[in-house]
């Protein structure tokens, strides 16, 4: 790996915009190109499967569930050339150093995650990873109110917008969240 420079690619946007689908698409292309791939996801994300990245659309790719960013580095195999990381916003801040280490050592690192939380504020290490990436793709979902481009994740509690002071991390899917545009995203204080 010495002497080679890798790359950091970030796929971001709101929930339901296709981040995991795009990550899986890139990983499948790398597999076709016969690259050595490792994929990681936070153990907290057990919505669909423990040992797979699974999109809301049902696409999947085998993955290793981790508790912390250091687990990626300790499990990184020497011949790996592509690393995929899903739901990076849920991984501790050390993810930034781990991703930098891999990219600096010739690995193509593809990170997918929410750029903002349900309040519309920067989420976890995603802003830093986005700033350090060579390639950033911000995807948009469809606003569930007006049908326009959605860039926000609306959390719902009993079909009403969640309060600003509610916990930031609650793992869920369409039963708790929907995509919204700026005009229809609501966060009562």
In whole angstroms, give the CA distance from residue 156 to residue 140: 19
Active-site pick, 2, 9, 22, 87: 87
Kindly tell me the sign of the dihedral angle through the C-alpha atoms of 21, 54, 151, 103. Answer: negative
DSSP-H helix ranges across the chain: 19-32, 70-75, 95-104, 126-132
Q: How far apart are the first and last CA of the chain?
A: 50
Is-catalytic flag, 87? yes
Is-contact 131 120, C-beta < 8 A? Answer: no
**Residues annotated as catalytic (active site), given as ranges:** 87
């Amino acid at each position: 790996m010495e002497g080679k420079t890798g790359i950091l690619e970030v796929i971001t946007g709101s929930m339901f915009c296709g981040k995991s689908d795009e990550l899986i698409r890139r990983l499948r292309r790398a597999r076709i190109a016969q690259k050595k791939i490792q994929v990681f996801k936070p153990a907290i994300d057990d919505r669909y499967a423990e040992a797979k990245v699974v999109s809301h659309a049902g696409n999947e790719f085998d993955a290793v569930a981790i508790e912390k960013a250091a687990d990626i580095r300790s499990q990184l195999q020497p011949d790996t050339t592509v690393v995929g990381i899903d739901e990076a916003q849920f991984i501790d801040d050390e993810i930034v150093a781990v991703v930098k280490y891999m990219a600096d050592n010739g690995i193509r690192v593809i990170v997918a995650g929410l750029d903002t939380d349900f309040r519309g504020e920067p989420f976890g290490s995603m802003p830093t990873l986005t700033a350090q990436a060579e390639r950033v793709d911000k995807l948009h979902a469809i606003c569930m109110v007006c049908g326009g481009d959605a860039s926000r994740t609306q959390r719902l509690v009993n079909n009403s917008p969640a309060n600003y002071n509610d916990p930031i991390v609650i793992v869920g899917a369409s039963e708790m969240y929907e995509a919204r545009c700026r005009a229809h995203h609501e966060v009562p204080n």
